Structure 1
Amino acid sequence: MEHIELFFKSIFIDNMVFATFLGMCSYLAVSKKVSTAVGLGAAVIFVLAVTVPVNWLLDQYILQPGALKWLGAEYADYDLSFLSFIMFIATIATMVQLVEIVVEKFSPSLYNSLGIFLPLIAVNCAILGGSLFMQSREIETIGLAFNYGFSSGIGWFLAILAIAAIREKIRYSNVPAPLRGLGITFIITGLMAIGFMSFGGMLTGGDDEGKEETQTAKVEQVNENEDNKLAENTTTINE
Structure 2
Amino acid sequence: MNESIWYIFISASLVNNFVLAYFLGICPFLGVSGKMATATKMGAAVTFVMLISSMCAYGIHWGLEAINAPFLQLISYIVVIASTVQLVEMFIKKMSPALFRALGIFLPLITTNCAILGLALFQTAKGYGFLQSIVYALGAGAGFTLALVLIAGLREKLDFADVPQTVKGTVLTLLVAGILSLAFMGFSGLGSQ
Contact conserved, 2:15 with 2:190, CA < 8 A, in 1?
no
> 1:50 Cα deviation (Å)?
1.0
Structure with bigger RCO (C-alpha 8 Å, 6+ apart): 2
Letter in 2 for 1:163: I
Letter in 1 for 2:135: N
Letter in 1 for 2:137: G
Query: Structure 1, residues 111-158: CA drift from partner, whole Å, max 9, x if none?
Result: 11111111110011111111111122221x100011111110110000
Partner of 1:101: 90
2:5 to 3, 8, 15: 3
Partner of 1:211: none
1:173 to 150, 161, 164: 161
Please list every run of 5 or more consecutive structure 1 residues that lacks an aligned counterpart in the other structure: 69-77, 208-239
1:160 to 148, 152, 158: 148
> 1:169 Cα deviation (Å)?
0.8
| Identical pairs, percent | 37
Partner of 1:138: 127
Q: How many residues align?
A: 191
Letter in 2 for 1:200: S
Partner of 1:44: 46
2 CA distance for matches of 1:120 and 1:200? 30
TM-score w.r.t. length of structure 1: 0.77
2 CA distance for matches of 1:203 and 1:130? 18
SS in 1 for 2:17: coil
> 1:203 Cα deviation (Å)?
4.5
1 CA distance for matches of 2:43 and 2:140? 11
2:60 to 58, 70, 81: 58
Partner of 1:113: 102
User: Larger Cα Rg: Structure 1 or Structure 2?
Assistant: 1
> 1:35 Cα deviation (Å)?
1.1
SS in 1 for 2:34: coil
Letter in 1 for 2:92: V
| 1:197 maps onto 2:190 in alignment | no
Letter in 2 for 1:176: P
Segments ≥4 residues shifted beyond 2 Å: none
2 CA distance for matches of 1:137 and 1:190? 28
Are residues 81 and 202 of structure 1, via their aligned partners in 2, closer, same or farther at CA, if it must alter by over 3 Å?
A: closer
2 CA distance for matches of 1:202 and 1:106? 40
Please list every run of 5 or more consecutive structure 2 residues that lacks an aligned counterpart in the other structure: none
RMSD: 1.3
